[in-house]
Amino acid sequence: AQSVTQLDSQVPVFEEAPVELRCNYSSSVSVYLFWYVQYPNQGLQLLLKYLSGSTLVKGINGFEAEFNKSQTSFHLRKPSVHISDTAEYFCAVTPNSGYSTLTFGKGTMLLVSP
């Protein structure tokens, strides 16, 4: 079984500041990792994913994440946030051997203020 921990339920940040949203996972098998963003009253949009290869993955809207196997982490970063980045961010994992269901973290609300 897998579990995902998003350590921060809410992250307030000023516009144009850098941000890091933390995600740690636990799994007895190798996993694929994902970050999704959810704007109010909308579904989830895929930001980026790690399946294999380079541990630094770049996604949409200027976000990137780095897979660290030794620390079992997949933190999301953006060097300069915009007001429009205000949303809920979910980290998720699934075993990489045959598709299975996603295990989600509880989400981190990113609040960007002017």
Partner 1 sequence: GAVVSQHPSRVICKSGTSVKIECRSLDFQATTMFWYRQFPKKSLMLMATSNEGSKATYEQGVEKDKFLINHASLTLSTLTVTSAHPEDSSFYICSATGSGGAADTQYFGPGTRLTVL
Residues that bind partner 1 (CB under 8 A): 32, 34, 36, 41-46, 49, 51, 90, 99, 101-102, 104-107
Shortest Cβ 92–partner 1 spacing (Å): 8
Of the pair 7, 51, the CB lying nearest partner 1 is at 51
Radius of gyration for the alpha carbons in the chain, expressed in angstroms and rounded: 14
From residue 11, alpha-carbon distances to 28, 55, 60, 86, 107 in Å are: 30, 24, 20, 10, 11
Of the pair 98, 114, the CB lying nearest partner 1 is at 98
Shortest Cβ 41–partner 1 spacing (Å): 7
Of the pair 16, 106, the CB lying nearest partner 1 is at 106
Shortest Cβ 22–partner 1 spacing (Å): 16
What single-letter amino acid sits at 5?
T
CB 90 within 8 A of CB 105: yes
44 vs 87: CA distance, rounded Å: 10
